[in-house]
Amino acid sequence: MATKISITRTLATVKSMSNGLMLISLTRGTDEFAQEAGFNDSVGAVSDAIKENYHGLQDIIRVREDILAKVILSNASTLITVAGKEYTTQ
């Protein structure tokens, strides 16, 4: 079943998703002494956590792209009437 939401809310959702996709990772040290900045775990533990969450990140990106495609389709199929003539909003 499809969920209907306004274009404004859809674009706000996409913006929120886009902001959440910006990831920065810093490492201090090298080899077995390296640690991920901001984490108390070893780089190996952090690396495993990143790998586990990677598929979730890919899913978010796919959903974001699907939402944007549907917004574009919605805009392309919206008809407006000007001076008695109908136009699409491309």
**Domain positions in the chain:** 7-88
Distance CA 14, CA 71 (A): 10
Q: Model pTM greater than 0.85?
A: no
β partners of residue 28? 35
Question: Rounded to whole angstroms, how far apart are CA atoms 48 and 78?
Answer: 46
Distance (Å, whole) CA 44 – CA 5? 42
**8, burial (CB in 10 Å: exposed 0-12, middle 13-18, buried 19+):** exposed
Q: How many CA atoms lie within 13 A of 56 on its CB side?
A: 8
pLDDT digits (tens, 9 = 90+) for 45-73: 777 777 777 777 788 889 889 988 988 88
